[in-house]
Amino acid sequence: MKTALQHIHKSFGKVHANDDISLVIESGEILGILGENGAGKTTLMKILAGLLHADAGSVLINDQVVQVTSADEALNSGIGMLSQDPLDFPTMTIFDNLYLGQQKGLFIKKATFRNTITEVQKSLGFHFNLSDYVGDLSMGERQQLEILRLLVHGSELIILDEPTTGISAQQKTQLFDLLKQLTRLGKSIIFVTHKLAEVNELCQRTIVLKQGRLVGEVSIPCGSSELIQMMFGKNLVFQINTDVSSTVPQIDLRELVFKDARFLSNPLDLQIYRGEIIGLAGMEGSGQKTFLRTLAGLEKVVAGKIACGEDDLTGKLSHWFHQAGIYFMPATRMEEGLVQGMTLKEHFILTHQSDRFKLDFAQAETTTQEKIADYAIRGFQDSFAEELSGGNQQRLLLAMLKENARLLLLENPTRGLDIESTNWMWDKLHQRCQDGTSIVFASADLDELLRFSNRILVFFSGKISTPYQTQELDSEKLGALIGGEGWQ
């Protein structure tokens, strides 16, 4: 299928989000759409997928103008878009999820539908058991399921908008392999991203959007500096890691052994310095989470020692870790971090109450107002935590972490956030490092690890590496280590 957009315009008030954009994509091709945050990528894709109406311009399939005024119509014409958050129902089976995704008014017999699914699964090498529950799937598997859904419903063009946010390096490799396989089946792929490396890895050709306009089109491979120049109009100097202002050890781990569900770690010696940022790299479930929780006093130490200055924290309750200024921010915001049914104000009362067991409501209101302003949280004192968007929940969690903390333990702190919020988050974290806080964070994003860490520990299959200086690594080397290559 050949798909084209011609002279697309779309404005939101004064913002000209798409300004006369035209493009063509052939069958069997992977087209990249690259551009910084706010460039107009999502808007353009939503127009193509029938989720937004263009002010002017047309969509053509095989040179015929088609009307795509709803997602159903688009899918009918063979255009499917992978949603950024899976829209599936976790408590339903895989079959029911796929079956429900049918276009309204079309009742295909379940048996026929089952056969179609089997065929598509076979062509992709998928092995989903249709009676399994969607809630038990990983993020990567849900994404595969979403692709399966689009294909079962006849998609010839699949649009993916920043699909690698929130999945592990391994899942990303699987996704890329799958997309390449789809092109061999004659499907077209549009891959939207702000990451140069991903375009280079996957696409044959990319267009670049900037402030709503198409500013370039290049064949891949192509030098990064050329693309950066197009995206930003200048050569960007990436933010350098904070200088570690002193070499005063803040936390001292000696021969620390912890127990994960599947393994016992090797003994780890590590001194975390004041103001230092340590990144934890590894595939999901390689022990990073347990390590963070052990440092927070939430998991028992099997052997060795955790010391903070003169204080030996080994074996103490998490309360004593708080006393020592050590705080943990979990990845699952609404499950471990925030409390459903509690307002923002109540969250701050909980985290900022003094030890005197006295709740000062007036003080709490002032604090909450200050935090909302300081952390740019879109919400009110009396908003419930679950009413906030994901990005704002993350801001709230960060705001709740006490100032002057000694050590912050962060699990995937920017997962699911857009670039702007990610940068904002790291600005805030850097400020804290300048004030002497140290940070240990886990992330599945190699760029993020390399950009913000002073040192990196790699986790692989129960083993923890000695710390690497970030300068010793690049994404290729780090990727290999995460995959188990290059270990001594």
Ligand X SMILES: Nc1ncnc2c1ncn2[C@@H]1O[C@H](COP(=O)(O)OP(=O)(O)O)[C@@H](O)[C@H]1O
Number of residue whose CB is nearest Mg ion? 42
Per DSSP, 387 falls in state G
Structure tokens at 252: 């001292």
Choose among 87, 7, 83, 99: nearest CA to 51. Answer: 83
User: Can you tell me which of 35, 287, 413, 479 binds ligand X, judged by CB under 6 A?
Assistant: 35
Stretch that binds ligand X, among 31-39, 102-110, 243-251, 274-282 (CB under 6 A): 31-39
Stretch that binds Mg ion, among 41-49, 239-247, 457-465, 467-475 (CB under 5 A): 41-49
Longest dimension (CA), the chain: 75
457 binds, among Mg ion, ligand X, none (CB under 5 to 8 A by kind): none
379 binds, among Mg ion, ligand X, none (CB under 5 to 8 A by kind): none
Kindly state whether residue 43 participates in binding ligand X, applying the rule CB under 6 A: yes
Residue closer to ligand X, measured from CB, 43 or 206: 43
For the packed helices 169-184 and 110-124, what is the interaxial angle rounded to 10 degrees?
100
308 binds, among Mg ion, ligand X, none (CB under 5 to 8 A by kind): none
User: Can you tell me which of 3, 18, 42, 453 binds Mg ion, judged by CB under 5 A?
Assistant: 42
Long-range pairs for 72-75: beta carbons < 8 A, 24 or more residues apart: 72/103, 72/104, 74/48, 74/49, 74/50, 75/50, 75/103, 75/150, 75/153, 75/154, 75/155
CB of 117 to ligand X, least distance (A): 32
Kindly state whether residue 15 participates in binding ligand X, applying the rule CB under 6 A: yes
Q: How far is CA 36 from CA 188, 196, 257, 346, in A?
A: 23, 10, 42, 37
User: Can you tell me which of 8, 21, 40, 230 binds ligand X, judged by CB under 6 A?
Assistant: 40
Residue closer to Mg ion, measured from CB, 2 or 195: 195
Residue closer to Mg ion, measured from CB, 41 or 432: 41
In the three-class reduction of DSSP (H, G, I as helix; E, B as strand; rest coil), residue 350 is classed as helix
What is the 3-state secondary structure of 35-79?
CCCCCCHHHHHHHHCCCCCCCEEEEEECCEEECCCCHHHHHHCCE
Kindly state whether residue 17 participates in binding ligand X, applying the rule CB under 6 A: yes
Kindly state whether residue 453 participates in binding ligand X, applying the rule CB under 6 A: no
In terms of residues, how long is the chain? 488
For the packed helices 361-374 and 390-400, what is the interaxial angle rounded to 10 degrees?
120
Kindly state whether residue 216 participates in binding ligand X, applying the rule CB under 6 A: no
Kindly state whether residue 232 participates in binding ligand X, applying the rule CB under 6 A: no
Q: Residue 253's CB: how many other CB atoms inside 10 A? A: 22
User: Can you tell me which of 23, 25, 29, 41 binds ligand X, judged by CB under 6 A?
Assistant: 41
Choose among 442, 392, 378, 391: nearest CA to 417. Answer: 391
Stretch that binds Mg ion, among 42-50, 140-148, 204-212, 326-334 (CB under 5 A): 42-50
Residue closer to ligand X, measured from CB, 52 or 145: 52
Binders of Mg ion among residues 90 to 119 (CB under 5 A) are: none
User: Can you tell me which of 28, 38, 436, 483 binds ligand X, judged by CB under 6 A?
Assistant: 38
The bridge status of strand 30-34 relative to strand 455-460 is unpaired
Stretch that binds Mg ion, among 35-43, 287-295, 310-318, 439-447 (CB under 5 A): 35-43
Q: Given the rule CB under 6 A, which residues bind ligand X?
A: 12, 15, 17, 35, 37-43
